[in-house]
Chain A
């Protein structure tokens, strides 16, 4: 067993352990912090896979953006020290069974499948990503890029409209 393999199994155990804690812990604020650790673990997995650009994006957007947003909304809407109401035991048991069966079937398919590795060099330089992202030719992603920018604009406008305080109606 080489060092690379050991590091991979440590990262995998870290991701799955913190994710399980995140969905099972009783206090909502702790749940958000475990989610933060799980996302950092996923970023570590990206570093292990040598896709540094995606790892950086993961840390900036997920850890720096979404988790902070979630923690803010917890503070705005919840008493963060309070425990959440208990899940009914029947629902817990049936969800565990459903999830275990789903996992077993899916992983059986993956395990039986024979993945044929491609050859070629994996070159993930920001230069290459940028060129292909803004290219209008055959393998370019200029159109999805523009569509996503419109989507972000729409989401921003939508957030402002939803969060606007409606004035009490004058009678």
Chain B
């Protein structure tokens, strides 16, 4: 357990964060962008667990932050999907390039 250095676990979370960023940069479909946001939130959660477990093992604050982040991520996904479905009804497309009425 303790034979893995902290930086190796942080490598995973950093890489996961930037993979999510890559998806956010390249994809233009709203659902896939939402998936990238979920990946980014997961990488943040890994960070919280690792810092809590390795640096402050006698406290639980990181765990509470994770619980709240997961709750907010669930609410965010529900609202985002309601918006996406509503947009699909009015535009027949969920591509962000097609929804540019409020751009300028």
User: Which residues of A come within 8 Å of B, CB atoms?
Assistant: 2, 4-5, 8, 12, 15-16, 19-20, 22-23, 28, 31-32, 35, 38-39, 42, 45-46, 49-51, 53-54, 57-58, 61-62, 65-66, 69-70, 72-74, 76-78, 84-85, 87, 91-92, 94-96, 98-100, 102-103, 106-107, 110-111, 113, 115-122, 124, 128-129, 132-133, 139, 141, 144, 148, 151-152, 155-156, 158-159, 162-163
Q: Which of B46, B64, B70, B76 contacts A62 (CB 8 A)?
A: B70
Please report the total number of B residues contacting A with Cβ < 8 Å. 68
Interface membership of B12, Cβ < 8 A:
yes
Complex Cα–Cα for A1 and B14 (A)? 24
Contacting residues of chain B (41-94) with chain A, CB-CB under 8 angstroms: 42, 45-46, 49-50, 53-58, 60-61, 63-64, 66-68, 70-79, 81-86, 88, 94
A-B contact pairs, 30 of them (CB 8 A): A4-B1, A4-B4, A16-B19, A45-B46, A54-B49, A54-B63, A58-B45, A62-B70, A66-B38, A69-B78, A70-B34, A70-B77, A84-B27, A94-B25, A95-B25, A99-B22, A102-B21, A106-B14, A106-B17, A107-B14, A110-B7, A110-B10, A115-B54, A117-B6, A119-B57, A132-B64, A148-B71, A151-B75, A159-B79, A162-B82
A15 near B38 with CB under 8 A, answer no
B68 near A31 with CB under 8 A, answer no
Q: Which of A23, A38, A72, A148 contacts B72 (CB 8 A)?
A: A148
The 9 closest A-B pairs by CB, nearest first: A23-B23, A120-B58, A155-B75, A95-B25, A122-B57, A162-B82, A159-B82, A103-B18, A77-B88
Shortest A5–chain B CB gap in Å is 6
Quick one: which of B14, B46, B78 has the most chain A CB within 10 A?
A: B78
Residues from chain B with Cβ under 8 Å of A77 in the complex: 31, 84-85, 88, 94
Residues from chain A with Cβ under 8 Å of B20 in the complex: 19, 23
